């Protein structure tokens, strides 16, 4: 089994049993992201306390890649400050755009590294970045 197979397996596993797919009552941040080219519609909700993300979850529907990506992202955001969240998002987007290729730098992404090979499939890139772009925009609106 090569690395690509393992990555695919993690994506399939996440899309079958997504984490954090639920409603958050009274979220501090909430924003819906839509990817019309595939039909993915994912709403990200975040609970913040003392500047730290206490809870992150999503609702909506989408393809396996968009759901796996939202599952992995919301999992990763627990306990992060908004600034840390922004950094993680920009590293993730940099990885997908192949602007960041240094594995040592990408290590911080943990499980999200499994989505790296999506950059080889241009049609699926929007699916992979949807949740991340949506949270990035929600944080930007909150900070400005």
Q: Closer to Zn ion by CB, 20 or 66: give it.
A: 66
Query: How many CA atoms lie less than 13 Å away from 131 in the CB half-sphere?
Result: 34
Min dist CB 49 to Zn ion, Å, is 32
- E strand or H helix that includes residue 30: strand 29-35
Between 32 and 84, name the residue whose CB sits nearer to Zn ion: 32
Which residues contact Zn ion by CB under 5 A? 38, 40, 63, 66, 127
CB of 52 to Zn ion, least distance (A): 30
Q: CA angle, corner 141, sides to 136 and 144, nearest 5?
A: 115
Considering the complex, state which of residue 66 and residue 134 has its C-beta at the smaller distance from Zn ion: 66
Provide the 8-state DSSP code for 47: E
Closest distance to Zn ion from the beta carbon of 45 (Å): 20
- Nearer Cβ to Zn ion (47/116): 116
Start-to-end CA span in the chain (Å): 47
Q: Report which secondary-structure segment, H or E, holds 61.
A: strand 52-61
Minimum distance of Zn ion from residue 2's CB (angstroms): 24
């Amino acid at each position: 089994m090569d690395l690509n197979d393992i990555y695919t397996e993690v994506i399939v596993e996440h899309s079958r049993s997504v984490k954090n797919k639920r409603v958050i009552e009274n979220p501090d941040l909430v924003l819906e992201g839509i990817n019309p080219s595939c039909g993915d519609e994912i709403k990200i909700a975040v609970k913040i306390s003392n500047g730290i993300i206490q809870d992150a979850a999503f609702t909506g529907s989408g393809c396996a890649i968009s759901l796996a990506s939202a599952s992995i992202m919301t999992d990763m955001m627990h306990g992060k400050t908004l600034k840390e969240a922004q950094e993680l998002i920009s590293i993730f987007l940099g990885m997908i755009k192949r602007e960041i290729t240094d594995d040592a730098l990408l290590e911080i992404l943990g499980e999200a590294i499994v989505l790296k090979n999506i950059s080889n499939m241009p049609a699926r890139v929007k699916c992979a970045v949807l949740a991340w772009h949506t949270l990035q925009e929600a944080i930007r609106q909150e900070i400005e």
